[in-house]
Chains A and B, each alone.
Chain A
Amino acid sequence: ETGVTQTPRHLVMGMTNKKSLKCEQHLGHNAMYWYKQSAKKPLELMFVYNFKEQTENNSVPSRFSPECPNSSHLFLHLHTLQPEDSALYLCASSSGEGAAEQFFGPGTRLTVL
């Protein structure tokens, strides 16, 4: 595997379910990010992790819970979501040094019923 991978690629869940999104980067980067991409809206930064420490939480509801066990893996735990949370969730990574290029994964298409 190369670059940034995300699993699953598609997820359908009910509002009472608990699920997790996984992101893995194979680039030796130190910073990882979660973004939400909704139809007809700009990408929204959700969380930033630098060296496994969360450095940004962009006022994200607590029903989204990130976890970064090491610099290569990032999870987004989901529980009691709402239909308006349906979107493409993108993970990205960067070296963490200055304005380094962010490398994006293919995303997880989430549908909340």
Chain B
Amino acid sequence: AQTVTQSQPEMSVQEAETVTLSCTYDTSESDYYLFWYKQPPSRQMILVIRQEAYKQQNATENRFSVNFQKAAKSFSLKISDSQLGDAAMYFCALSPGEYGNKLVFGAGTILRVKS
């Protein structure tokens, strides 16, 4: 069975500061993919960042980066220079297997950005 755990139901960050969202997962697959998706209030879910498990280098997309610790099965998301538009529900997701199209989601973390 595949599981994804997000232990922080809610986080807050001051505008322009940095915040890290935690995610741990479990899978018996050797090939898998990890994702962070963002769901703004009343808006569509969009992909933030993606990590292939076979790649040791941490993925980065502009202000978003991950800390992928494969042995610890940890996949945290760091948001730098936080902006008001970053306020959303963030979901960590695992896609096991080489085909990678069956997403298993965590419960989500609500991120609030204070001005």
Contact = CB atoms under 8 A, between A and B. Distances in A.
15 contacts: A33-B101, A40-B107, A42-B91, A42-B105, A43-B91, A43-B103, A45-B102, A45-B103, A48-B102, A96-B101, A99-B52, A101-B47, A101-B50, A102-B101, A106-B44
Interface string A11-49: 000000000000000000001010000001111110010
Interface stretch (B11-19, B67-75, B76-84, B92-100): B92-100
Interface string B1-14: 00010000000000
A101 B101 CA distance: 9
Nearest to B33: A99
A104 B101 contact: no
Given A42-B4, A45-B102, A48-B102, A105 B44 contact: yes
Interface string B23-58: 000000000010001000001111100101000000
Interface of B: 4, 33, 37, 43-47, 50, 52, 91, 95, 98-108
A99 B100 contact: yes
A33 B45 CA distance: 14
Secondary structure class of chain A's binding surface, majority of residues: loop
Contacts of A33: 101
Residue of A4, A50, A98, A106 with highest tally of chain B CB at under 10 A: A98
Residue of A3, A44, A48, A99 with highest tally of chain B CB at under 10 A: A99
Interface in A79-98: 90, 94, 96, 98
Given A98-B98, A101-B50, 15 more contacts: A31-B101, A42-B91, A43-B91, A44-B105, A48-B101, A48-B102, A50-B101, A98-B99, A98-B100, A99-B50, A101-B47, A102-B101, A104-B44, A106-B43, A106-B44
